[in-house]
Structure 1
Amino acid sequence: MPINVIVMLVIVQFIIGLLFAFNVTSSSNDFLYQVYRSINSLLDPVLAPIKRILPSTGAIDFSPLVLIIGLQILKRALFYGVY
């Protein structure tokens, strides 16, 4: 299901971002950096409108969490609408 794929991409993006932020791996790791950039380019059109709506919270970005919650609500609404 496409909603599950988007949620998994958000989770992978978050984990790789944490790896970079806590210096577990550096951004000079070409493979991880390319995966991170690719996922960012896929998710940016979806996350950008959410980031504009949410108030600025400093270093913490809540837009992926809002996206996951919104997708889960949409998935349940579509599921119960069909059945």
Structure 2
Amino acid sequence: MGSLILVLLFILKIVWFIVIAHVVMSWLISFNVLNRHQPLVSNIWYGLERLLEPIYGPIRRILPNMGGLDLSPLVLIVIIYALQTILIRNAYAFM
């Protein structure tokens, strides 16, 4: 059972890195450092969007409308951190 917890923690860490990459890339696109018309940037952007939109969608429906500010990545990072903490703190119960 301990190995299952390690796998879950690893998956949460991968999702965390993907969210951070998506946030940084959105900032770089917003400040015109990256151009979405370049094929590599476009492929990476749409790949990240397709991966994260099923997760962001339910969070966006719960959050109030903040105008142009999207807080769903921040909420997802907090959820990931909470899940990691819960798994680590309760790992002894599964062993």
Normalised to the residue count of structure 1, the TM-score between the two structures is 0.95
Q: 1:15 deviation in Å?
A: 1.1
Q: Report runs of 4+ in structure 1 exceeding 2 Å deviation.
A: none
Check the 8 A contact 1:16/1:32 in 2, yes or no: no
CA RMSD of aligned residues (A): 0.8
Bigger RCO of structures 1 and 2 (CA < 8 A, at least 6 apart): 2
1:11-67 Cα deviation digits (max 9, x unpaired)? 111111111111112111110111111011011111100000000101110000000
Aligned to 1:42: 51
Which of residues 22, 26, 30 in structure 2 aligns to 1:17?
Answer: 26
Check the 8 A contact 1:19/1:25 in 2, yes or no: yes
1:68 aligns with 2:77: yes
Mapped partners of 1:46, 1:27: distance in 2: 22
- The unaligned stretches of length 5 or more in structure 2 are 1-9
Normalised to the residue count of structure 2, the TM-score between the two structures is 0.83
How many residues are aligned here? 83
Identity %: 31
Aligned to 2:16: 7
1:81 aligns with 2:81: no
Which of residues 16, 27, 42 in structure 1 aligns to 2:36?
Answer: 27
